């Protein structure tokens, strides 16, 4: 958590009260993701909160895989989760935990509930169970199998465990209250049959505990003091407490809920993110347009920016939607302060400096960062031919155009003032080059004749540069709430969320850039090397974010 002085959020107040009263002597939190997909922006807030609280109060935080549904879980997801947590700057206490570590104990406790007359094997199928469950305004009906004897239930549960029933034939349910106003207490399912191999336990089990049953007991086994969940689990808390109170667990953790992180222009449902991947709307879970932590990492977002964003979004019990511009602001702030500067021409147009000697070259020294002397300087090759961006030259322009115009002057960033004389065109009338002159003695100086440059443009030497591909990433959706109100979010995919530019020209210093390095391409935005497509023969840069919020103007 940030060391900036700010009011305590409600969870911090609870923790401080618990520590001061002696209710707990040390806190232990946990981050319990399901390994059925890659983590996304909402998980980043949960990671920041759970690990950050442990850091702030000298406690410990566990990483526990909630691996109770083997049909949807994969080892790839387990590995990606660990990578994401560590990349965000956190380290869990001890080994990675798994709900499956406790399957034997959870099974034994299920037998205990049966013996206490508090659980029964039910033969209703899924549709029948929904009918019996009732509604928000009408109570449910008790299952006709609710009165089975303890002996019958024990025998049937053992047959379930032994694989003698097909999936869906029966399940184990808690015996609570079918008339409860809280639907989660209407005899919820504790175990269901799933004949699927598990990535941790193999084929040992063909019955698996439900999330509601496994979660609280796993917390108790691990000695979790503050079990922090998002608000959708608030109605599940009575069931969490019922299990804790009715089982001989070694500890009594308590669940606290906070509002989940909802961000506009974004979809974070794992099911929908998986659909984007499976139907090739994006190029994998780590596509830089995806709101997954892996995608944001590949795009070039920084761990600090994501932590700062979570801090800015805050921790409350009030549901709301955070503007994505807040995230983009956090990213720009971090990158602006810490990113080396470089020049890259995205749409090259050759400029021939006719009064500069053909065989002469020189090296111009420029700062790596204009406000950070500690970052040193960089060398810029300069010669008779350079590249500028096509949008930075016009034969004629009004006074608002502050770039190179025929008969006018402009300063090359960190270099000379030049004046354009002639546009060279092909047979179709397209400008293919510009003839210009260097105004003498203007390296770091204004022209002696007093005629100043209209503006400053970036450039790259033609004789010594890095040829590269640049990928311009933008928001994946054009609608502020793409999946709200029953809308089909696929209808709002942004057709311009990825624009690939080849033949771009970057300053030669970028040839030594590393995969984790981030740069401000002057006048263009912030960029980083793509960790999938960059190799020894090809440099591919991803745009992390533009210098300004262009969406605000559109809105």
Rounded Cα–Cα distance for residues 22 and 186 (Å): 36
- C-alpha torsion 125→66→154→170, nearest 10: 10
Q: In three state form, how does the secondary structure of 435-472 look?
A: EEEECCCCCCCCCCCCCCCCCEECCEECCCEEEEEEEE
Please say whether the beta carbons of 315 and 9 come within 8 A. Answer: yes
Distances in Å between the Cα of 448 and the Cα atoms of 141, 376, 440, 491, 513 are: 94, 30, 9, 59, 38
Q: Angle 10-21/41-56 helices, nearest 10 degrees?
A: 30
| Three-state secondary structure call for residue 515 | coil
Verify whether residue 260 is a known catalytic residue.
yes
The token pair that represents 90 in the structure block: 């956190």
Please say whether the beta carbons of 238 and 297 come within 8 A. Answer: no
Please say whether the beta carbons of 465 and 507 come within 8 A. Answer: yes
Verify whether residue 115 is a known catalytic residue.
no
The token pair that represents 419 in the structure block: 């004046």
Report DSSP state, residue 167: T
Q: Angle 150-161/103-115 helices, nearest 10 degrees?
A: 160
Verify whether residue 34 is a known catalytic residue.
yes
Set 12, 34, 507, 522: catalytic member: 34
Report DSSP state, residue 523: T
| 3-state percent helix, strand, coil for the chain, nearest multiple of 5 | 30, 25, 45
Set 118, 260, 272, 394: catalytic member: 260
Set 270, 332, 408, 508: catalytic member: 270
What amino acid positions are annotated as catalytic residues? 34, 260, 270
């Amino acid at each position: 958590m940030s060391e900036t002085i700010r009011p305590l959020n409600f969870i911090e107040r609870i923790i401080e009260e618990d520590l001061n009263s002696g209710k707990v002597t040390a806190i232990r939190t946990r981050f319990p993701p399901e390994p059925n997909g890659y983590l996304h922006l909402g998980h980043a807030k949960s990671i920041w909160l759970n690990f950050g609280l442990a850091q702030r109060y000298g406690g410990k935080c566990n990483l526990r895989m909630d691996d109770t549904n083997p049909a949807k879980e994969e080892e790839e997801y387990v590995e990606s989760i660990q990578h994401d947590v560590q990349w965000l700057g956190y380290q869990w206490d001890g080994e990675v935990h798994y709900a499956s570590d406790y399957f034997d104990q959870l099974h034994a406790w299920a037998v205990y509930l049966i013996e206490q007359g508090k659980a029964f094997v039910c033969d209703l199928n899924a549709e029948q169970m929904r009918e019996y469950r009732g509604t928000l305004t009408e109570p449910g009906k008790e299952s006709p199998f609710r009165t089975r004897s303890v002996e019958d239930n024990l025998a049937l549960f053992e047959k379930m465990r032994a694989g003698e029933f097909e999936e869906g034939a029966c399940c184990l349910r808690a015996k609570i209250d079918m008339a409860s106003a809280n639907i989660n207490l209407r005899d919820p399912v504790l175990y269901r049959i799933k004949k699927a191999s598990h990535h941790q336990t193999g084929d040992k089990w063909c019955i698996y505990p439900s999330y509601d049953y496994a979660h609280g007991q796993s917390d108790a086994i691990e000695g979790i003091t503050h079990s922090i969940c998002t608000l959708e689990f608030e109605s599940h808390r009575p069931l969490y407490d019922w299990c804790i109170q009715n089982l001989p667990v070694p500890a009594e953790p308590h669940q606290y809920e906070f509002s989940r992180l909802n961000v506009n222009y974004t979809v974070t449902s794992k099911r929908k993110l998986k659909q984007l991947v499976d139907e090739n709307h994006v190029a994998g879970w780590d596509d830089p347009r995806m709101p997954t932590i892996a995608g944001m990492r590949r795009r070039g977002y920084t761990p600090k920016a994501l932590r700062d964003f979570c801090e800015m979004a805050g921790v409350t019990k009030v549901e709301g939607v955070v503007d994505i511009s807040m995230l983009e602001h956090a990213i720009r702030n971090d990158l602006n302060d810490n990113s080396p500067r470089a020049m890259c021409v995205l749409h090259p147009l050759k400029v021939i400096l006719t009064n500069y000697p053909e065989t002469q070259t020189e090296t111009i020294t420029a700062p790596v960062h204009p406000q950070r002397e500690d970052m040193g300087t960089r060398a810029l090759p300069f010669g008779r031919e350079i590249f500028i961006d096509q949008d930075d030259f016009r034969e004629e322009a009004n006074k608002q155009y502050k770039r190179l115009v025929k008969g006018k002057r402009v300063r090359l960033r960190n270099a000379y003032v030049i004046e354009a004389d002639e546009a060279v065109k092909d047979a179709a009338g397209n400008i293919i080059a510009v003839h210009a002159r260097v105004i003498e003695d203007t390296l770091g100086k204004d022209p002696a004749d007093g005629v100043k440059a209209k503006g400053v443009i970036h450039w790259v030497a033609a004789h010594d540069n890095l040829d590269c591909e640049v990928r311009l990433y933008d928001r994946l959706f054009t609608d502020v709430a793409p999946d709200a109100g029953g809308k089909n979010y696929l209808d709002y995919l942004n057709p311009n969320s990825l624009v690939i530019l080849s033949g771009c020209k970057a300053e030669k210093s970028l040839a030594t850039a590393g995969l984790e390095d981030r740069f401000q391409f002057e006048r263009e935005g912030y960029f980083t090397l793509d960790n999938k497509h960059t190799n020894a023969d090809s440099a591919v840069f991803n745009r992390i974010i533009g210098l300004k919020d262009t969406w605000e103007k559109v809105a």
